[in-house]
Amino acid sequence: MHSVGIAVHEHTMPYEVAIAAEVFGVDRSDLSPSGDWYRLSAHTAEGGPSPFLPGVPAHGLARVRDLDTVIVPATHSPGTPPSQEYLAALRAAHGAGRRVVSLCTGAFVLAAAGLLDGRSATTHWMHADALSGSHPLVDMRADVLYTDAGQVLTSAGKTAALDLCLHLVRTDHGAAAAAGLARRLVAPAHRPGGQAQYIPPPALPRTPDSLGAALEWARSRLDRPLTVEDLARRSGLSTRQLVRRVRAETGTTPLAWLHGQRVRLAQELLESTDATVEQVAERCGMGTATTLRRHFHQVVGVSPLAYRATFRASRPPG
């Protein structure tokens, strides 16, 4: 029976612990072709029971190196790593060839232990820049729901912990077992897209001069044909000067900025109106539904209809 241990640290958050306990701590051997499931344990510095996992057998941190899979839950203090004893236990487990998995901001803990250096990883999108800044050797993938680098796996924010846990079940027991568990949890077996669809559009840049006026002019005409030359004329700049200014102000090219603004408008229309994809494409200046789908998927990671299904349903009434 595959042993899974949740290594509880002093900054542990309960939500992701509950997700892992639901997946690995409830006997669902009827779903597995082998007839086995998981054996769950808790691991604390004191070796005693964890308040997050009542009734789950508890052991000390030294025992995590004997597990098949070590779960590192989210931390409410990403900038403050757990104790050196905790980090040493993770390194020992990794060195013994154990699978080490972080949930949400637990990636900061793995990074502090040095287990993410040179590896792809993710975390909650709100903390991705902070993780990259404090641990530049990590290959940050802020737009995905989880990463699987073989021995080390990480999940994005909050409910993405369930996506990763289902991925582990799929890896260990097969797709049918993961799908069966997802049905029991009333959750999708595999969510399309990544975190990009949940990240709010960036704030509009502050550009009070002629460039700012030109960008505002373009935003008010997204339903019409617009070119880089149009923006240059409106700004009183040459095309080359415009490219330099827009890159300095927005971090991208004028054409990419235009596409981004059109996608942003499409997101708003998909959330707030019942317009068809074809109508949305016309109103945001993409021309055709095919063009909108291509650019929308490139930026957001899912199709326009998948985005609407998620965010139109989640809008508050009124």
Give yes or no for residue 202 having a pLDDT over 70.
no
Residue 204 lies in a domain: no
Q: In the structure, what pLDDT confidence band is assigned to residue 207 with cuts at 50, 70 and 90?
A: very low
- Residue closest to 15 by CA, chosen among 124, 116, 98, 89: 124
Looking up residue 122, the CATH number of its domain turns out to be: 3.40.50.880
Q: Same structural domain for residues 185 and 284?
A: no
Residue 167 lies in a domain: yes
Q: Same structural domain for residues 252 and 289?
A: yes
Measured between alpha carbons, how far is 270 from 306 in angstroms, rounded to an integer? Answer: 10
Residue 317 lies in a domain: no
Give yes or no for residue 209 having a pLDDT over 70.
no
Q: Same structural domain for residues 66 and 168?
A: yes
Q: Same structural domain for residues 272 and 162?
A: no
pLDDT (0 to 100) of residue 201: 55
- Give the count of beta carbons closer than 10 Å to the beta carbon of residue 211: 22
Q: Which amino acid belongs to residue 257? A: W
Both structure tokens of 318:
């009124």
pTM, two decimal places: 0.66
Task: Identify the residue with better confidence: 108 or 207.
Answer: 108
Q: Residues 74-93: pLDDT tens digits?
A: 999 999 999 999 999 999 99
Give yes or no for residue 317 having a pLDDT over 80.
no
Beta bridge partners of 44: 60
pLDDT (0 to 100) of residue 194: 58
Residue range 44-54: mean pLDDT, rounded: 92
Residue 202 lies in a domain: no
Task: Yes or no: say if 69 and 83 are a contact pair by the CB < 8 Å rule.
Answer: no
Q: Structural domain of residue 136, as residue ranges?
A: 2-196
Give yes or no for residue 246 having a pLDDT over 70.
yes
Q: In the structure, what pLDDT confidence band is assigned to residue 195 with cuts at 50, 70 and 90?
A: low
Residue 298 lies in a domain: yes
Residue 296 lies in a domain: yes
Residue 205 lies in a domain: no
Q: Same structural domain for residues 189 and 237?
A: no
Q: Which residue pairs, CB below 8 angstroms and at least 24 apart, start in 56-59?
A: 56/6, 56/21, 56/25, 59/5
Measured between alpha carbons, how far is 29 from 191 in angstroms, rounded to an integer? Answer: 24
Residue 126 lies in a domain: yes
Q: How distant, in Å, are the alpha carbons of 19, 30, 185, 241 from that of 178?
A: 14, 12, 10, 54
- Per cent of the chain over pLDDT 90 is 57
Task: Yes or no: say if 281 and 291 are a contact pair by the CB < 8 Å rule.
Answer: yes
The mean pLDDT value of the chain amounts to 88
pLDDT (0 to 100) of residue 179: 87
Q: Same structural domain for residues 214 and 188?
A: no
Tell the burial category of 48 from Cβ atoms under 10 Å away from its Cβ (0-12, 13-18, 19+). exposed
Q: In the structure, what pLDDT confidence band is assigned to residue 114 with cuts at 50, 70 and 90?
A: very high
Where helices occur in the chain by DSSP H, the ranges are 14-24, 84-95, 106-112, 128-134, 160-173, 175-184, 210-219, 228-235, 239-250, 254-272, 277-283, 289-300, 304-311
Task: Yes or no: say if 286 and 262 are a contact pair by the CB < 8 Å rule.
Answer: yes
Q: In the structure, what pLDDT confidence band is assigned to residue 198 with cuts at 50, 70 and 90?
A: low
Q: Residues 28-46: pLDDT tens digits?
A: 999 998 899 999 999 999 9
3-state secondary structure of 39: strand
Q: How many domains does the chain have?
A: 2
Q: Same structural domain for residues 51 and 153?
A: yes
* Domain stop point among 196, 224, 247: 196
How many residues appear in the chain?
Answer: 318
Q: Same structural domain for residues 46 and 153?
A: yes
Q: Same structural domain for residues 214 and 192?
A: no
* Domain stop point among 139, 161, 196: 196
- Residue closest to 259 by CA, chosen among 275, 246, 244: 246
Q: Same structural domain for residues 18 and 123?
A: yes
